Amino acid sequence: MPDLYKVSSADLRRAAELLRAGRLVAFPTETVYGLGANALDEAAVQRIFVAKGRPLTSPLIVHVASEAMLEPVVAEWPENARRLARKFWPGPLTLVLPKQPTVPDVATAGLATVGVRMPAHPVALALIHECGLPLAAPSANRFTQLSPTTADHVRQSLGDRVDMILDGGPCTVGIESTVLSLATTPPTLLRPGGIPRAKIEDVIGPVQLLAKPSDGPHASPGLQAKHYSPRTPLFLSRNGEVPEGRGAYLQVRRNPQSRDVEIVLMPDDPSGYASALYRTLHELDERHFDWIAIEQPPSTPEWEAVLDRLRRAAHVNNSKG
């Protein structure tokens, strides 16, 4: 097992005790840090929504450490789920399936389905094994803000709203999991993420895209028009154009048409870019720029997840620049 970074066996035992007592524990996954609670404890799940300021229309993802832990969570485990789990678990793929009655409705926005995944991080897996519970765990930050990829990001966003933070070092994938509903025919990609759509289709065939989120409960987390946003106004730039004032420009290849700009070179591959994105935006947020502009990546399937995050982060700013 890889190094657990700053997490000791005593830390894991204490965190497991807190979770069994209905408290909140932030822990690392390969995607982002999660704010965990016992997924089968309604009062504990409610605490997640209060701590994040999260609307009850946004469901949570349940994290497990083995397929055996799915028994009290999902009512069905079809062949497509088995095939995808064999290929991508542990990893950044969430599968949406009919839920068991033991999962409180608050965790699923009142829907009859639940999202489940097995995280690929040694601390997350060790914690779930230690407490013996499936853990509901959205990103450990205030709702709509930048997701945390370090323990310090969690502390800055949630402070004393969380009972314990396990520091497992920086997250490697850097953006949230792909969410795929197997409760529809054909399966529906609800949120692009750490596993590209093409790799899923290689395993189970074509999947459809979600046309538009409903006004009521969402089928997946991360479907709000404004989400993943830094405090600094963020703009998607075309042809190197940037606003007036002091700013930072994230680019792969183009140069901005402005002098008072700090250039931030980003990786030119989608996975490297995704891994660096939230960390970079957190760092720039602390420097109090007037704006952050981002060279828009290519509109190709490989960049689907990154583009989704950028468009939601820049949603309220698109008309300004």
Binning the chain into helix, strand and coil, the percentages to the nearest 5 are 35, 20, 50
Q: In this prediction, what percent of the chain has a pLDDT beyond 90?
A: 81
pLDDT of residue 319: 33
Which helix (H) or strand (E) segment is 309 a member of?
helix 304-313
Predicted TM-score (pTM) of this structure:
0.93
* pLDDT one-digit tens code per residue, 266-308: 999 999 999 999 999 999 999 999 999 999 899 999 999 999 9
More confident call, 256 vs 8: 8
Q: How does DSSP classify residue 298?
A: P
Cα 243 to Cα 313: distance, rounded to the nearest angstrom: 17
Among 8-17, 167-176, 223-232, which is the least confidently predicted range? 223-232
pLDDT at 228: 86
CB neighbours of residue 107 within 10 Å:
29
pLDDT average, residue stretch 16-43 = 98
Q: Which helix (H) or strand (E) holds 13?
A: helix 9-20
Confidence label for 259 from pLDDT (cuts 50, 70 and 90): low
8 A C-beta contact, residue 310 and residue 294: yes
DSSP secondary structure code for residue 74 in this structure: B
pLDDT at position 320: 35
Mean pLDDT of 311-320: 61
Label residue 215 by pLDDT band (50, 70, 90): confident
The pLDDT of residue 256 is above 90: no
Conformational region of residue 232, where left means phi above 0, alpha means psi within -120 to 50, and beta covers everything else:
beta
Q: How far apart are CA 133 and CA 207, in angstroms?
A: 31
Confidence of residue 239 (pLDDT cuts 50, 70, 90): confident
End-to-end CA distance of the chain: 48
Question: What is the pLDDT, as a whole number, of residue 316?
Answer: 45
Say yes or no to pLDDT of 242 above 90.
no
CA gap 8, 10 in Å, rounded: 5
- Token pair 């999902």 is found at 74
Residues 6+ apart with CB under 8 A from 50: none
Q: What whole-number distance in Å separates Cα of residue 167 and Cα of residue 6?
A: 6
Supply the pLDDT for residue 258: 61
In the chain, what are the domains?
9-209 (3.90.870.10), 234-320 (no CATH)
Higher pLDDT, 212 or 293: 293
Average of per-residue pLDDT across 232-248: 89
